[in-house]
Every structure is written in C-alpha cells, then in structure tokens.
Amino acid sequence: MNNRRLKFLSFSVPVLMFLVLFFYWPIYGIINLALTSDMTSWVEILSSPLFHKFLGFTITQAILTVLGSIIIGVPTGYLLSRGNPYFGGLIRSAITVPFLFPPLALLLGFITLFGSYGIFNELFQGIIEFDPYTFWGIVILHVSYNISVIARISESAFNNENSELHNIAISLGASRWLRFKSITYPHIKSSIESGMMLVFLYAFNSFAIVLVLGEVRLQTIEVMIYAQSILRLNYSTSSILVVIQVIINIFVIWLYSRRTSNLVPDDEIINFSQTANRKLSTTALLIVILLTWIPVFILLSRTITGIIEAPQIFKDQLFSGSFDRLLGTSSIRVILNTLFIGLIVSAISIVLSSLMIASTQFLKNKKRGEKMFLPLILLPMGTSAISLSFGILMTHGQLQIFSSIVWIYIITAHVLAALPFASRTMFSSWNRIPEDLLAVSQTLGADFKMTLEHVILPFMKSAILISIVFSFAISIGEFGATFYLARGEWITLSLAIHRMFGARNIILPYLYASILIISSLILFAVIEKFGSLEMKL
C-alpha cells in the first residue's frame, strides 16, 4: 500500500466508521426488518385506509406548503434583489432568520396567537375564528417557516442574471413580460425548482409541528412511525413505514440534485434598483416580515409581561425545582444539556468535515474525493430524525448501557442533521483556495503547520466559524431525535417546552422558547457577520 493511499485511509476511515456505526447500520437494521416481515404485513399496511389517509395528508400538506412558500417567497426574493428597499440588509436578515428558529418555539408563539384563548380569536371573536389544531393551521405554520428558504434562493437566482441579455432585449423593444418569459424564467427555473424540492422535503418529514397541531387526527408518516414504534411497539409496521418514507425522500433528493446540477453559474449581477419603487418594495417586504414574525413578537412580549405580572409564587417556581418531576431534571440542567450537546455537535461536525477535506488531498483527482463523500453525508437527509432514532433504538438499544449513554446517541443524531450543512460550507470554502498557493507552499518547503497557518486558515476561518455556529443552531433547535431517544435527565430546551405545554405555570415554557429565539438571533448575527446562511445543500 503506497503512502498516499495510507494517508487517505487514515483521514477517511474515522468518517466512514462514524457514518456506518450511527447511520448505515441503524438504517440497515430497519430495512432488514422490513424486508424479512411477511407479505401479510406489507399488504395490511398498503391496503389500510388509515395509511392512505395519512399518506395523502403528508403529501398534500407538503405540496400546499411548497405552493404557499412559492407564492410569497418568489416575489419576496424578487423585491430583495430588484426592489432596492430601504435598510435592505436588515430586511434581508429579518426575512432569513426564521429558518433558524426552533420549531417548538415558533409553535408556542403560533398557539399563543391563534389558540382558543389567543390574541387573534379574542380580537375577532364572533367575526372570524381560526383553530390552529387543524389541517390549515399546520400548512400555515409550515409556510411561514419556509418562506425564507424560497426567498433567499430566488433572490440569489435573480441576482445572477446576465444583464447583457436584458439590455439587448430592451434595445430590440421587448416588453417586460417577454423579457421575463424568455430570459428571467429560464434562468431562475432550476433554482426555484431546487427550492421547491427542499421545502417539500422539510414539510414531508415534519414532526414537531404535526405532533402538536395534528394531535391524533392528522399524522405525517413521520408521526406514524413514532406512534407505531413507541406507543404501540409495532416494530414491523414501523420499519415498513420507514422504508416507504425513505424511498420517497431519496426520490425527492434525486430530483433536487438534478435541479442543482442545472443551475446557471454566477454571472454579472443585474441591477434595476433605479427604476424600482423603494417605498412600495419596502412596504411589501415589511408585510412579509410581519407575517412571519408575529408569533415571535407575541412569544417575547408574553414572556416579558408574564414575568412582570405573574404572582410571586409562580416566579418562585421557575427555578425552585417545582417542575423537576415533570421535566425529569432541573431547569438549570435543561439549559446546560442544550449547551453541552450543541457544543459537542459543533466540534464533531467540524472535525468530520475537516477529515473529509484532508483525505481528498491524497487522491490524484481531488474533485473525485468530494463527489465520493457528499452523497454519503447527504443520504441522512433522506432519512428523517424519527426514522434514524428508531434505527438506533433497534440496533444500539439492545446494549445494556444504552440508557446510561443515551446522550451519545442524541449527539450523533444531531451531528447527522448538521453534517450536510457544515461539510458543504467547508468544501465550498476549500474549493476557493487557489491550488497554485498550495503548490507554491509545498515547493518552498513549508510544512503542514505553516501551510495551515498562512494559506488555508486565511481562506477558511470564516467557513469554519459559520459551520460551528450553524451546527450549534441546528442542535439547540432539534426536537425529533431528542424527543424519541431522551432518557432520564437528558432533556433539552425544545423537549422541555413540549413537556410543559400542559403545565399550569406557562411562564417557564415561554421563557425556554424565548431563550431559544434569542440564541438563534445571536447565532444568525454571527453567521451574517462572517458570511451568509447557505440555504442550499
């Protein structure tokens, strides 16, 4: 074995071992159970009216989420690109940041706004009534969550149009509609379609929002898997549902990869800001911000007024241990758990991403190495948090020490959720390092430490920081895997919010949710300071 191959293996094997141990083995266990189940189980599920109902609901709400996100998100992206709004940077950030908000925090704000005793129903009592625990409640919350994805992807597509084509078309007397149909639409089509695939994937695999708002009546396949495996202990049915879900997810990811391969490379940025109505575009964008931020504003205001106006007995209960039995641990431990898991997830994501990049340097074709790794880490995107957790429980759950080391499995599930984003950010930054600089560094006899310090880090330090912060943000907001796997005192803020939904003292869940919202805002500010939030994979 030559030296280059040995070095390649020394860097790549730890990554492959992690993926095999915590992803591919659990998924193999599920698939094996599904395929070894008798045909009667498959026929029973596939012919079940309840399965048809929930599969239809899963697909329908995902499609409507995509449509709603497109209807609002594409015009929003256009206005961000061409509208030249006042305070454009601030408005762009305000539209983007909801993507980072933990779903349980948004959910609590949404229920506070539209619940039976919510602000909306109190203001419009007897005129308009809206029940969030319905099909449309789920769709509306999904849409508000995903507008930012479509808006930023479409903004990037509009920004990268070739201005020369528009100038030629204008000189030939082409109307605005003809220019849109002949130039703009073909250019943005692949970007918009890739955004649609991403939003469909997020909504199709939604768990927290559907679990709470759908109750028992409405379930996605994700919620069905949880119900069958945890509540009914029907592992055979659960494994079959996972296989069906994974097949659909992989098909959507395949469509997404095809769309992204057709994206037009960045070109000269076109600018129509001189002809735009700044006041109109700013007003329209502020309306979009208001629609997506109302639950957040309500949540934060209720937290502040609740702490100020609540009787002293309720304030005393916040950190006195009164809710330890309900939570399974203390409030301080909940916060420390969230921070500890988030920091470890960030560290592991960076280490694995760095190992992948380092290993590719010992291949003759470095691009080939990247193409080898990216599918391996993108495949977890085709497996939902609940499906992965079910696989971990089936394989690793047989260990006698599983409950004692469950925090390790929670961390690995979070890493698998964060790794596609972290590694993509790192690879993208690495590819921008001129190969000539690396070659010159080697030619001049610089060792690895000097090359790292003077060549690599100046190009990659922003990407490393963004990957760390983004991974941390994903971890603190993650709910599905933690909800499924958590035992004993390993409760995070998102899980604590869910457990406190029915408590008499509502200040504590509001406080938890506000901590998550404020943390997300700080993390987003750090990301925007050193780069930008990458919506695509």
Q: What is the domain-level CATH number for residue 120? A: 1.10.3720.10
Our count of domains for the chain comes to 2
pLDDT in tens, the chain (537 residues): 567 678 777 888 888 899 999 999 999 999 999 988 888 889 888 999 999 999 999 999 999 999 999 999 999 998 988 888 888 888 998 998 888 899 888 998 898 888 777 777 777 776 777 888 899 999 999 999 899 999 989 988 888 877 778 778 888 788 778 888 888 888 888 889 889 999 999 999 999 999 999 887 899 999 999 999 988 888 899 999 999 999 998 888 888 877 776 555 544 445 554 445 788 889 999 999 998 999 899 999 988 888 887 677 666 666 666 677 777 778 888 999 999 999 999 999 999 998 888 887 776 666 666 667 777 777 787 788 999 999 999 999 888 888 888 999 999 999 999 998 888 888 888 878 777 777 777 777 776 677 777 777 888 888 889 999 999 999 999 999 999 998 878 899 999 898 887 666 678 888 899 999 999 999 888 888 877 666 555
Contact 387, 315 (CB under 8 A): no
Residues 377 and 502 grouped into a single domain = yes
Note whether residue 97 is domain-resident: yes
Note whether residue 91 is domain-resident: yes
Q: Residue 504 has what pLDDT?
A: 61
Residues 163 and 263 grouped into a single domain = yes
467 vs 348: CA distance, rounded Å: 11
Q: Which residues lie below 8 Å from residue 528, measured CB to CB, with a gap of 6+?
A: 93
What range does the domain containing 83 cover? 68-219+253-307
Which residue, of 307, 339, 370, is where some domain finishes?
Answer: 307
Note whether residue 51 is domain-resident: no
Q: Which residues lie below 8 Å from residue 431, measured CB to CB, with a gap of 6+?
A: 370
363 vs 361: CA distance, rounded Å: 6
Residues 282 and 364 grouped into a single domain = no
Note whether residue 441 is domain-resident: yes
Residues 271 and 373 grouped into a single domain = no
Task: Tell if the pTM clears 0.85, that is, is over it.
Answer: yes
Of 297, 299, 298, 292, nearest in space to 143 by CA: 292
Residues 368 and 279 grouped into a single domain = no
Tokens of 225: 């898997």
Note whether residue 475 is domain-resident: yes
Residues 373 and 509 grouped into a single domain = yes
496 vs 1: CA distance, rounded Å: 52
Residues 266 and 125 grouped into a single domain = yes
Contact 100, 477 (CB under 8 A): yes
Residues 375 and 266 grouped into a single domain = no
Residues 93 and 182 grouped into a single domain = yes
CA distances to 314, 406, 477 from 223, rounded to whole Å, are 34, 22, 18
Tokens of 11: 């860097």
DSSP 3-state percent helix, strand, coil across the chain (nearest 5): 80, 0, 20
Q: Which residues lie below 8 Å from residue 276, measured CB to CB, with a gap of 6+?
A: 82, 83, 84
Note whether residue 9 is domain-resident: no
Note whether residue 432 is domain-resident: yes
142 vs 138: CA distance, rounded Å: 6
Burial of 230 (0-12, 13-18, 19+ CB in 10 A): middle
Residues 291 and 427 grouped into a single domain = no
Which residue, of 273, 307, 341, is where some domain finishes?
Answer: 307
Q: Residue 503 has what pLDDT?
A: 65
Note whether residue 11 is domain-resident: no
Q: Residue 450 has what pLDDT?
A: 78
At 5 the three-state DSSP class reads helix
Q: Residue 448 has what pLDDT?
A: 67
Residues 150 and 293 grouped into a single domain = yes
Q: Residue 319 has what pLDDT?
A: 66
Which residue, of 244, 272, 307, is where some domain finishes?
Answer: 307
Q: Residue 263 has what pLDDT?
A: 58
Residues 196 and 264 grouped into a single domain = yes
